[in-house]
Structures are given as structure tokens and as C-alpha cells.
Structure 1
Amino acid sequence: MRLYWRVLVINGAVLTAATLALVVAPVSVSRHPVVSEAAVLGFGLFLMVVTNALLLRSSLAPLDRVVREMASVDPQRPGRRLKPPDSGPGRDLVLGFNAMVDRLEEERSMSNAKQLAAQEAERHRIARELHDDIGQQLTVVLLGLKQAEQRAPAELADELAALRESTRDGLDDVRRVARQLRPGVLDDLGLASALASLTHDFAEHSSASVRRVVAPGLPPLSSDTELVVYRVAQEALTNAARHAGASAVELSLTKVGDRVVLEVADDGRGFDVRRDGAGLRGMRERARLAAGDLTVTSSPVGTTVRLEVPA
């Protein structure tokens, strides 16, 4: 029975019972009610209200429970569904809510996939332009400065040499940024080599020491999954250097059962994992695209990011 008809039947039953009680019971009310008659009417009204409240509570209590549980659903942690009651209007509400969440999560996943694909395409375009255009132009400038240094008089040689070294540093920075935007080594040599290059660059530009452990004989992953693992490792290392102020970081890639596990642990300042920033949300969204699970644990003396993806 739908909620509207259930409430209507309950109220009708209470009013019918009160009417029958007035007809059958030896109770009458004079034109000018006395105190005893008013007391009887008040008691009857109180009894009607209490009876109605008790009967309605059995029907509406499941709705209150469903509303409270709806408030605890976190869109950042999908997969949780409400358990429907065995019967009553609350069951239809829970089933409808679960179906709505299924549709929203599916649409969110598709939207995130398109967004991340567009982001990777833009990263690839910028990296290609940096490497092919700006990198080549700086290379030409570098060669020109070298020739000019050889032909220049002695009093200008030192200045040209310093300018050439500055140009070389700029070219190295352009190449480094291009590698960060689109790791060509990931496409050419695979995930293990890409992680080795990533930790090497991190150690060069950070004061933290890095220990890398890659287990031998890891099963192959799809190119999309490898990119997810690489981006999560990149974000975790960036957070360790930028926010945690870590002095030591350990990155490991191992196989546990039928899953490949990436762990990035640091000894820096911890944070409240319940307050997800843009970086953590991005890592969680990437993990979901690879059907993986991301867990982040943090304490005052360190943080561990763990990503599990199916092999």
C-alpha cells in the first residue's frame, strides 16, 4: 500500500473508532459543557492523538531512517548502497534511491573518463610542442652560442659561455617538464622504467632521498592502467615533497594475489585524510577508471598511498 493510502486508512480508522465510541458509550455533552464533560472530551482527544501517532510511527519511521542513511552517502567513495526494509513505503524509497545512485555513479565515471582523457591529450600536445618546437629552438640557440663563443674575442668568451650554460639549463628544464607532462619512457620502455625515471627526477629536484622497489615478474598491464599507476605515483611524490616536507620516500611496485600494488610511503607531516584535496580526489578518480582501489593512511610522522589494480 502506498504511503498516502496508508496514512489515510490509519486516520480514517482512528476517527471511525472515536465515532463508534461516542455512539456506543453512555457519554453525552450538554449545550453548555461542564468540567466533567470537558475532561472526558479532552481524554478522548488525547487518546485519539496518541493512537494515531503510534500507528503512523510504524509507517513513517522507516522513512526517517532512510533519510538519515542518505545523508551519510559519500559520492567520493562510491559503491555503498542502502539496505532496503523488508516491506513498507521505505522499501520503494530505498530501491529508487539506490537506482538513482547507480545512474549518477555511472554518469560520473563516464564524465571523469572523458575529462581525464582530454587532460592526457592536452598534456601530450603541450609536451610535444615543448619538445619539438621550444626544445629544438633552444638547441639551435645553444649551437649558435657555441659557435659564437669560438669566434668571439677573449673578453666576450666568458659571458657567452655563461649564456650558453644558462640556455642549456633552460633546455634541460623544458625537457624535464615535457617528460612530466607526457612520460615518453612509459610508452617506449614500460612502467618499471617510467617509475625509475620518475624517482630519479624526484631525487634530483628534491632534498628527500628515494628508495625504489620493483618486484620482478610483474604481470603486464594495459596502457591505460599503467598510466593510472604512473600518475598516482607522480602525485604522491609531489605531495610528499610539496606538502609533507619528507626527508625519505619509498616507492614499491609488487604483486599481491591477482593485483598489482603500488605503495608510496614518506616520513613527512601527516594530514587529515577525511579532508580530500584536489590531488587526492584526482587519484581516487583515476583509480576508479582502472577498476582499482586507493587507500591513504596518514599519521603525524608519515603518509602511505596504496593503489591496487587488477592484473
Structure 2
Amino acid sequence: SEVVGVIGLCHLEEGRTFGSDEVALLSRFAALASIALDNARLYTSAQRELAERKQVEDALRKAHDELELRVEQRTAELSKANTILREQIAERRRVEMALRESEEHYRALFNQAREMQDNLRKLSREVLRVQEEERKRISWELHDEVGQALTAINVGLEMIKKEIATDRENLKKRIVDLQNLVEQTIDSVHRFSRELRPAILDDLGLFPALRWYTKSFAERTGIQVHLKASPAIEKLDGEQKTVVYRVVQESLTNVSKHAQADKVDIDIKKAKNGICLEIWDDGKAFRVCERTSLFKGRGGLGILGMQERVEFVGGKFAMESEPGKGTTIRVEIPFKTERG
């Protein structure tokens, strides 16, 4: 047994002692008091343990809440960092793709510039060759047609000088012949002049010039030419009109030389902000080389020259050729806007 306390008792009457019953009663009281004290001590100990346990639970709950908060904050930070990382990866991919596209674009531009340089070099040589051939042709025609005609006129005049006093009837016939020859010579000179630069283009406009040229082409070659043009073509400036005229001229020249065609349709329509020219022939087709704009089998660099002319005035040039469907040249030229 454990001693939990001491109870001191004394009798009120001096010299008297407690009897056995009283001792038994007091012992019972002491045992009950001991139990009560022990229970009080246990209750106090339990209360203290409960308080300490509550403190521990509160501390654990607080630590748990702080941990949850830290986890949420860390999760948010990781999510934000992950989002930034994904954006950086996406941006890097976009930059890499842009760099690749830029590299491919500049490579294409470089190749295109090199092709254009080659084309311009070929065109330059071709222009010189064509100029020389044109000079030779004009020189030959002047020599053979105009030169021979003037020589014949000179001989005729010499004979007139000799016959002037003898044979008047024959003299009249020779003068008529010489007049006809002079007229033919004048026509030849006018034809050379018109082929070099038709005055009708400057004096009357594009449509009359095209009508005159297509009519003379049809009479000279036997190829049917149908011309249809919108009045809007006269809104083109002088340089653009010259380009349209030269494209038609070069196209018909190619048709007569290479196409073996019977018919040509020329249609000039008003587009949204300019004109659209289409030249179609029913002749034999040929292969159109892509990318280089050089055309094999028909017209060669003459067609490249047309393309250069059209692009020089801000236009677009295209050609289609398919067996059984003939060849179509399509040109778009914008009107020039006036700037204030």
C-alpha cells in the first residue's frame, strides 16, 4: 500500500483513549479519505494530460495547416514555373521554326536572285543579239527594198532623160511606173517606221494601234485574229500601253514562227484595279519550265523579255500550254494611282 497522507486525531476528553469501534470507524474514514485523495490526484493528473494532449493536438493541427499552406504555395509556385517553362519551350520552338523559315526564305531569295541574275545575263545577251539581228534585218530590207527601188528610180530617170525628146508615149508609161515604185518605197519606209514605233499608238491610242497591227498581221500571215478590248485600256499610262502593245506584238510573232496556229483570240478586260490581257492560240503546245520563267520550245527568251516588260510596270505575267488546248498568255497590269 502507498501512504497518501497522515490524519492526526485526539480525544476531547483528557486521558481517554479510543475504543476498538472508534478505531475501526476512524480507520474506515482514513481509507475513504485516502481513496478520495487518490481520486483527486488522478483527476488532476488526467486533466493535466488532457490539457497537454489538447496542446499537442493544437500544435499538430497548426503544423498540418502550415504544411498544407506550404504545399499549396509550393504547388502554385511549381505550376507557375511549369507554365513559364512551357511558354519558354513554346517560344523557343517558335523562334527555331521562325529561324528555319527565315533561313529557308533567305535561301530561296538567294536562289531566286541567282536565277534572276542568270536570266538577266541571258536576257542581256539575247537583247544584244536581237538588236543586232534587227539592225541586220532593217539594213537588209533597206538595201533590198528601198535601195533597189531607189536604184530603179534612178535608172528610170536616166532613161527618161534619154527618151524625153523621142518617145513621149513610152515616157508617160515610165513615169507612171516610177510613181508606183516611189509609192511602194514610201509604204516600205512607213512600214519600217511603224514596226519600230507605231505613231498611231501615240496619236490615237492603244486600241487603234492594236487593231491596225492585228489586221496587218492577219493579212500578212493568213492567221485569223479576233481582238476584243475594254475602253479601260486607255486609262493605262504611256509606258504601260507600250508594254501591252509589245506583248501582243511578240506573242503574235511567236505564233507565226512556232505555233502553226490557225486562230488567235486577244481579249483585254477591265479588272478590279487594272486590266487583264489574255492571248490564246490554237497552235501546238509546248513545255513551260517552272520557277525560272524560261520557256522551252517556243519563243525562248522573247517570252522572258515579255515577262520582264510586264513586271517592270508592276504587272503579273503567266503562261499556260497544254496539248489539244493551245497556249494562253495572261497579263495583269494595275492602273497607276495618282499621288497628291
TM-score, scaled to structure 1: 0.55
1:70 aligned residue: none
* Counterpart Cα distance in 2 of 1:236 and 1:101: 29
* Counterpart Cα distance in 2 of 1:273 and 1:103: 20
1:304 aligned residue: 328
1:139/1:171 contact within 8 Å kept? no
Is 1:266 the equivalent of 2:261?
no
Query: Residue type of the partner of 1:233?
Result: V
1:182 aligned residue: 197
Query: Residue type of the partner of 1:286?
Result: R
1:210/1:250 contact within 8 Å kept? yes
2:233/2:275 contact within 8 Å kept? yes
What is the Cα deviation at residue 169 of structure 1?
2.9
* Counterpart Cα distance in 2 of 1:273 and 1:105: 16
* Counterpart Cα distance in 1 of 2:193 and 2:97: 58
* Counterpart Cα distance in 1 of 2:96 and 2:192: 55
SS of structure 2 residue aligned to 1:271: coil
2:232/2:275 contact within 8 Å kept? no
**CA pair 267-91 structure 1, distance change in 2 beyond 3 A:** closer
2:239 aligned residue: 224
2:305 aligned residue: 282
Consecutive unaligned residues of structure 1, counting only runs of 5 or more, are 1-83
What is the Cα deviation at residue 206 of structure 1?
1.1
Task: Write out aligned runs for 1:32-181 (5 A).
Answer: 86=97, 90=100, 93-94=103-104, 96-97=106-107, 100=110, 148=160, 153-155=168-170, 161-162=176-177, 164-181=179-196
Consecutive unaligned residues of structure 2, counting only runs of 5 or more, are 1-94, 290-294, 336-340
2:225/2:265 contact within 8 Å kept? yes
Deviations 1:86-123 (A, max 9, x none): 166x566446536646877998999989x98xx99xx9
* Counterpart Cα distance in 2 of 1:85 and 1:139: 76
1:109/1:289 contact within 8 Å kept? no
Is 1:195 the equivalent of 2:210?
yes
Deviations 1:274-308 (A, max 9, x none): 23411111111111101111111223452221211
Higher mean alpha-carbon deviation, 285-294 vs 99-108, is at 99-108
SS of structure 1 residue aligned to 2:255: helix
2:64 aligned residue: none
Give the number of the structure whose alpha-carbon radius of gyration is greater.
2
SS of structure 1 residue aligned to 2:231: coil
SS of structure 1 residue aligned to 2:210: helix
What is the Cα deviation at residue 142 of structure 1?
6.5
SS of structure 1 residue aligned to 2:331: strand
* Counterpart Cα distance in 2 of 1:297 and 1:240: 14
What is the Cα deviation at residue 251 of structure 1?
1.6
Deviations 1:154-175 (A, max 9, x none): 4566566555544433432221
SS of structure 2 residue aligned to 1:205: helix
**CA pair 107-220 structure 1, distance change in 2 beyond 3 A:** farther
* Counterpart Cα distance in 1 of 2:287 and 2:154: 51
**CA pair 104-173 structure 1, distance change in 2 beyond 3 A:** same
2:153/2:181 contact within 8 Å kept? no
Task: Write out aligned runs for 1:202-217 (5 A).
Answer: 202-217=217-232
* Counterpart Cα distance in 1 of 2:119 and 2:202: 25
What is the Cα deviation at residue 243 of structure 1?
1.1
Aligned length: 219
**CA pair 107-291 structure 1, distance change in 2 beyond 3 A:** farther
**CA pair 201-85 structure 1, distance change in 2 beyond 3 A:** farther
* Counterpart Cα distance in 1 of 2:325 and 2:172: 51
2:264 aligned residue: 249
Report sequence identity in percent.
29
1:145/1:164 contact within 8 Å kept? no
Query: Residue type of the partner of 1:306?
Result: R
SS of structure 2 residue aligned to 1:294: strand
Deviations 1:171-193 (A, max 9, x none): 32221121011111111111111
* Counterpart Cα distance in 2 of 1:262 and 1:169: 35
Query: Residue type of the partner of 1:260?
Result: I
SS of structure 2 residue aligned to 1:86: helix
1:7 aligned residue: none
Query: Residue type of the partner of 1:231?
Result: R
Of 314, 317, 323, the residue aligned with 1:291 is 314
